Amino acid sequence: MTTLAPRHVFVYGTLRRGDVRDITRLQPAPQFVGVGSVAGLLYDLGPYPGLLLGGEGRVTGEVYAISAELERLLDEIEEVWPQQSNEYFKREVAVRMDTAPTGGGPACLVYEINPDRLAGCPVIAGGDWRRRRLQAP
């Protein structure tokens, strides 16, 4: 019997630990791997952010090892399956881990915002949703 290696997910918004959709409250429980960042820009969509991958900016988030069952649940939350609202697209990206001496890290699933949803949305300076939420009045 072959055991599949766990998948990893990079969460950057409301799924971060302590936020309204805290991934650590979901089942089956994920395993925290560490804090990292990806190349991209983070946009403020009001109650949640959207990540647009690529470019010179960095977006901060958390990396978790997840099971296939939790991946399916995340797909439902982000409406990439079965609803397919086209608000987010599921991608796989390289993550730069804060604790890795060379900045290397695992390939992670990430839910990227559809660029069509960003009209009029401001960029979150510094690329950190948690810092933005803590600074809000």
Look at residue 105 and tell me whether its pLDDT is greater than 80: yes
pLDDT higher than 70, residue 76: yes
Q: Which domains does the chain have, with CATH numbers?
A: 7-129 (3.10.490.10)
Q: DSSP for 29-98? A: PPEEEEEEEEEEEEEE-SSSEEEEEEEEEEEEEEEEEE-HHHHHHHHHHTT-SSS--SSEEEEEEE-EET
pLDDT band for 137, please (50, 70, 90 cuts): low
